[in-house]
Amino acid sequence: METYRVKVGAEGEIVLPPELRSLFGLVAEDTLDLCVDSEGKVFVRTAERSVGPLSDFFEDLIIGELHGIGCTGDELKRKLLERKLKLSTVLDRMSEEAHRAHKNSQSVKWRKVQSLVSLGWEKTPHGSYDVVITTRGIHDLALLHEKELKEIPTVFSHIEQDPLAFKRLRGPYYETYRVSFRSGLKEYRVIYTIFAPENLIVVLMVGAREAIYANLNGIA
């Protein structure tokens, strides 16, 4: 059994070492339960998990599904948290797989994607980040209609310029974000992960909000 020693601060606070945070998969604002048995031994377990940035992205869709199967009250809260944590894990796994695909030369710079070449991207300024798309992202682009596809060069150009300007999605280990854009009455999303040391952005998914949610659930 591993032992970790931590100091107690002036107001009773403790700081967990990186090894423990990694072991529990903890991120900022997560909560721990400290359980004390009859012999005074203390056991630690994870309690409430912070997945706030996912809430306005998927929460209404998740709640709709849970209501559909009869979940209410505390059961609804519990299952909602479980679903959001599962989606968080999926996003992290996708980020890792996408970065590995890029390292294995299985990605394309967005300005060279065939479906975007004729859409006026040459008029957009280059940014300080390289934006690349893996096979999954290229497949997503192929499913878009022309009117939606025409929005993509502008979106990708904005990401190149300032990828941190958009909403972050919760994943414990990777900096994953989303950009929203509209075409007609539908909302669309571009999901991407930033690998700052490499000035690299890997696009994970592109598509309508509901379609991305369904795809993530399918992966989970």
| pLDDT value, residue 55 | 54
Write down the domain spans for the chain: 1-50, 94-219
Decide yes or no: CATH 3.30.2310.20 for domain 94-219: yes
Low-confidence ranges of the chain (pLDDT < 50): none
Question: Who contacts 69 (Cβ-Cβ below 8 Å, separation ≥6)?
Answer: none
| The dihedral formed by the CA atoms of 155, 161, 164 and 170, expressed in degrees to the nearest 10 | 40
201, 134 Cβ separation under 8 angstroms: no
Look at residues 96, 114, 51 and name the one whose alpha carbon lies nearest to residue 202: 96
Sign of the C-alpha dihedral, residues 164, 168, 172, 174?
Answer: negative
| pLDDT value, residue 165 | 93
Beta bridge partners of 44: 34
| pLDDT value, residue 110 | 93
Distance in angstroms (rounded) separating the CA atoms of residues 21 and 16 = 6
Q: What is the pTM of this model?
A: 0.75
What kind and span of H or E run contains 15?
Answer: none
* Terminal alpha carbon distance of the chain: 32
| pLDDT value, residue 219 | 85
- CATH number of the structural domain 1-50: 2.10.260.10
